[in-house]
Amino acid sequence: MELGIRGRTAMVAAGSKGLGRAIATALAAEGARVSIGARSPGPLAEVEQALRGAGAEVLAMPVDVGKPEDLERWHSATVERFGAPALVVTNTGGPPVGQLEQLTEDAWRSGIDSTLMNVVRLCRLVLPAMRAAKYGRIVHLTSFVAKQPMPILTISSTLRAGLSALTRTMATQVAADGITVNAVLPGHFLTDRQIHLNELRAKQHGTTREAWEAQVVASIPAQRFGRPEELADTVAFLLSERAAYINGASLQIDGGLLGATF
């Protein structure tokens, strides 16, 4: 299926590892010119080399999405190298974990900047050119906790729910200009973040990470963790010309985890 992505400029936040890297790889495979921003220099260089080796046009920049000046620098460099982005994936590592009384105001401020305001700021940077072009695709990578909060993920659950509301409100504001805004809500994918959370939960329950992961898998109707490329292919479709009438959606990609009632 031709997605209409070839030759378009894509920005993928937190694209050096896990789900972000899988998305960047999928877009590059479809012929997009991919700009990746991430904090970790080692993985960033690794994904840049891998994509270049596969023949992709790629720009990789050290970026802390929680810092407005980093987002502005990344956006400017992307426009200079490839032109204004038509495809944008907002993404971030998870905010601090803990229950309400364990979390400081600094933890909340950090989470708000890195999980919510980074999305607002990046969208404000890219929307003017999308409106002028009468075309754009934005996908927010969030989490299933937007619909099924977890006690240990107090900040994430709160902010991800807010991102679902932002997705819907943005979509209604930009749809007339040929721009779509959607969110994907991943379930359990065995990324570095998932492994970290599994270790924390295992410790809380006095068991091993392996035993805890077996319990997690047992709770998923598909009876397995998701593969990053499965999510990436879905995101690539949402960023495509063929997804022009999907707008304001928050799509669960979770192997049936949340069930029919959510």
DSSP 32: -
Of 236, 183, 182, 249, the C-alpha closest to 2 is 236
Distance, in Å, from the CA atom of 56 to the CA atom of 25, rounded to the nearest integer, reads 9
Position 262 confidence tier, pLDDT thresholds 50, 70, 90 = very low
What is the mean pLDDT of the segment spanning 169-196? 92
In this structure, CATH architecture of domain 9-187+227-253:
3-Layer(aba) Sandwich (3.40)
- pLDDT score recorded for residue 203: 86
Q: What is the dihedral of CA 29, 33, 39, 40, to 10 degrees?
A: 50
Residue 219 pLDDT > 90: no
The arithmetic mean of pLDDT across residues 215-244, rounded, is: 94
**Residues pairing with 10 in the sheet:** 34, 87
Q: Is pLDDT above 50 for 261?
A: no
Rounded average pLDDT over 166-191: 96
Report which of residues 192 and 249 the model is more confident about: 249
For the segment 149-159, the average pLDDT, to the nearest whole number, is 93
What's the pLDDT at 254? 93
User: Is 49 within 8 Å of 258 (Cβ atoms)?
Assistant: no
Q: What is the pLDDT of residues 92-140, one digit of tens each?
A: 878 889 999 999 999 999 999 999 999 999 999 999 999 999 999 999 9
CA dist 194 and 216 (Å) reads 11
Question: d(Cα 102, Cα 107) in Å, to the nearest integer?
Answer: 10
Residues 229, 23: Cα–Cα separation, whole Å: 7
CATH 3.40.50.720 placement within the chain:
9-187+227-253
In this prediction, residue 192 has a pLDDT band, given cuts at 50, 70 and 90, of confident
> Letter for the amino acid at 172?
T
More confident position, 124 or 194: 124
What is the predicted pLDDT for the residue at 228? 94
pLDDT digits (tens, 9 = 90+) for 74-98: 999 999 999 999 999 999 878 889 9
Instruction: Tell me which H or E stretch contains 173.
Output: helix 154-174
Of 246 and 206, more confident: 246
**Mean pLDDT, range 141-158, rounded to an integer:** 93
